[in-house]
Amino acid sequence: MTELSELESQLIAAVDAAGDEAALDDVRVSALGKKGTISERMKTLGKMDPEERKAAGQALNALKDKVADAIAIRSTSLKNAALEARLANEFDDVTLPVRPELKGSVHPVSQVWEEVVQIFGDMGFAVAEGPHIETDWYNFGALNIPEDHPARQEHDTFYFNPKEDGSRMVLRTHTSPVQIRTMEKSTPPIRIIAPGRTYRCDSDQTHTPMFHQVEGLVLDETTHLGHLKWCLEEFCKAFFEVDQVKMRFRASHFPFTEPSMEVDINYSVENGQVKIGTGNKWMEILGSGMVHPKVIAAGGLDPDKVQGFAFGMGIDRIAMLKYGIPDLRAFFEADLRWLRHYGFSALNVPTLPGGLS
Ligand code: PHE
């Protein structure tokens, strides 16, 4: 029989020579497997006398440990080498120019969404979110729209099938439920906008069953109508990239605000193009008002201490206005020719200092 030391150097050499995991496993089986060289020697221990067995047993166990360790180390380095090879192989040269036929562009809705976030972000607003599938309570009840309220009909709601208890989930008809969800989990001062998808069962040139809104909510102890007007005026100037825009606050009615106002901005039409901020035509762009005390209470805050404003604006609508896009339905048709015409460069991220559009 070969000397143990000789067996050791043979086995370690075999481990080091194993070129991949499979070869390494063969070495493992040949040494430590049931019929492996080390295991076979273990079997001879039984025939030895006690003194001899003790010494030989210890030596064999030490050898077994050494070989097992060597296998583990070799296995790690093989795995690392395989990973390195794979990474080198899967390397993508991101500096290669884009193939023209693959060039994508940013959808006007994404662009305008980002512009809105930039402008309000600069005014200290954070971005909040809520689920698209809402309970009746968040979409209506908490917003002071009771069961028999006419606003429910106006909203052309998509309802889910009733649950066992008779309640029905809805696709949110506006972003206003995010007001309630935000109040529930924050303490004033609150300054958020909530851009997102909304759904109403309605479809024509200016309505699609899914569309986008951005909600705004400001709540603290002192915010008043003047702040609302300033905020919206600054937004309009920044968004439409004009120095002046006239605004008209028209008394209106929303169950969740009191008083409520719809906001119009002035525009003119020159050579068939809409120009915001010049001329004396009026166009409605959003709904707003002071948050109704009942809504503040439904959000878990104290309406005797907390007050503020909210507004809701159609993202698709202001996108159409700013970029002169005539038909809303085209937004969601995924027509590449349309997207190439109206889309934005992916690398041209809108920022206030760098320019919005
Ligand atoms: N939720 C209203 C709508 O969808 C807009 C709105 C929001 C009005 C907040 C006032 C305050 O029409």
Give the model confidence (pLDDT) of 50-73 as tens digits: 888 898 899 999 999 999 999 999
From residue 19, alpha-carbon distances to 23, 29, 77, 142, 169 in Å are 6, 16, 11, 68, 60
Ligand 1: atom nearest CA of 217 is: 9
Q: Are residues 271 and 219 in the same domain?
A: yes
Ligand 1: atom nearest CA of 291 is: 11
Within a domain: residue 12? yes
Q: Please, what sign has the CA dihedral across residues 216, 222, 226, 230?
A: negative
Ligand 1: atom nearest CA of 143 is: 1
Within a domain: residue 84? yes
The full DSSP string for 284-316 is: EEEEEEEEPHHHHHHTTS-TTT-EEEEEEEEHH
150 Cα to the center of ligand 1, angstroms = 15
What's the CATH code of the domain at 127? 3.30.930.10
Within a domain: residue 66? yes
Within a domain: residue 235? yes
193 Cα to the center of ligand 1, angstroms = 13
**Per-residue tokens: 180:** 């309630």
Mutational pocket test of ligand 1: of 134, 157, 176, 318, the residue with most ligand atoms within 8 Å of the beta carbon:
176
Q: Are residues 321 and 232 in the same domain?
A: yes
Q: Please, what sign has the CA dihedral across residues 340, 341, 345, 351?
A: negative
Instruction: Check residues 138 and 89 and name the one with the higher pLDDT.
Output: 138
What per-residue confidence (pLDDT) applies to 3?
84
Ligand 1: atom nearest CA of 174 is: 4
Within a domain: residue 191? yes
**Per-residue tokens: 143:** 């917003």
287 Cα to the center of ligand 1, angstroms = 5
Neighbours of 117 (CB within 10 A): 17
23 Cα to the center of ligand 1, angstroms = 69
313 Cα to the center of ligand 1, angstroms = 7
Q: Please, what sign has the CA dihedral across residues 9, 14, 19, 21?
A: negative
Q: Which residue CA neighbors atom 6 of ligand 1 most closely? A: 312
pLDDT digit string, tens, across residues 72-89: 999 999 999 999 999 988
User: Which residues lie below 8 Å from residue 181, measured CB to CB, with a gap of 6+?
Assistant: 128, 130, 138
| For the chain, counts of helices (H) and of strands (E) | 12, 10
How, if at all, do strands 133-134 and 126-127 pair? unpaired
Q: Of all residues in the chain, what percent carry a pLDDT higher than 90?
A: 71
Q: Are residues 19 and 114 in the same domain?
A: no
What per-residue confidence (pLDDT) applies to 227?
97
Phi and psi torsions of 224, nearest 5°: -130, -175
Q: What is the mean pLDDT of residues 345-349?
A: 79
What per-residue confidence (pLDDT) applies to 207?
87
Phi and psi torsions of 269, nearest 5°: -115, 120
Q: Are residues 23 and 133 in the same domain?
A: no
pLDDT digit string, tens, across residues 261-318: 999 999 998 888 889 999 999 999 999 999 999 999 999 999 999 999 999 999 999 9
Last residue of a domain, one of 29, 61, 89: 89
Instruction: Check residues 150 and 189 and name the one with the higher pLDDT.
Output: 189
Cβ pair 214, 190 in contact under 8 A: no
What per-residue confidence (pLDDT) applies to 319?
94
Ligand 1: atom nearest CA of 260 is: 10
Within a domain: residue 203? yes
288 Cα to the center of ligand 1, angstroms = 6
Q: Are residues 161 and 49 in the same domain?
A: no
Distance in angstroms (rounded) separating the CA atoms of residues 80 and 78: 5
Q: What is the mean pLDDT of residues 322-344?
A: 89
- What range defines the domain where residue 166 resides? 108-342
Q: Are residues 182 and 211 in the same domain?
A: yes
What per-residue confidence (pLDDT) applies to 154?
73
Q: Are residues 60 and 134 in the same domain?
A: no
Within a domain: residue 50? yes
pLDDT at 153 over 80: no
DSSP state of 189: S
Cβ pair 142, 298 in contact under 8 A: yes
Cβ pair 299, 317 in contact under 8 A: no
304 Cα to the center of ligand 1, angstroms = 23
DSSP state of 274: E
Q: Which residue CA neighbors atom 7 of ligand 1 most closely? A: 312
Angle CA 143–148–152, to nearest 5: 55
Tally the domains of the chain: 2
Angle CA 210–141–215, to nearest 5: 45
Distance in angstroms (rounded) separating the CA atoms of residues 188 and 269: 43
**Per-residue tokens: 27:** 């070495």
User: Which residues lie below 8 Å from residue 211, measured CB to CB, with a gap of 6+?
Assistant: 197, 198, 199, 200, 314, 315, 316, 328
Q: Are residues 338 and 199 in the same domain?
A: yes
What per-residue confidence (pLDDT) applies to 102?
67
Ligand 1: atom nearest CA of 155 is: 4
Mutational pocket test of ligand 1: of 157, 197, 254, the residue with most ligand atoms within 8 Å of the beta carbon:
254
107 Cα to the center of ligand 1, angstroms = 25
Q: Are residues 241 and 333 in the same domain?
A: yes
pLDDT digit string, tens, across residues 191-224: 999 999 999 998 888 889 999 999 999 999 999 9
Q: Where are the beta strands (DSSP E) in the chain?
A: 126-127, 133-134, 170-171, 190-199, 210-220, 247-254, 257-270, 273-276, 281-291, 307-314
Q: What is the mean pLDDT of residues 1-12?
A: 84
Q: Which residue CA neighbors atom 9 of ligand 1 most closely? A: 311
Output the average pLDDT for the chain: 92
Q: Are residues 84 and 113 in the same domain?
A: no
Question: Ligand 1: which residues within 6 Å by Cβ?
Answer: 174, 176, 215, 254, 257, 287-289, 310-312
Q: Are residues 251 and 219 in the same domain?
A: yes
pLDDT at 99 over 80: no
pLDDT at 1 over 70: no
Total residues belonging to the chain: 357
Within a domain: residue 353? no
What per-residue confidence (pLDDT) applies to 334?
86
198 Cα to the center of ligand 1, angstroms = 12
Q: Are residues 81 and 213 in the same domain?
A: no
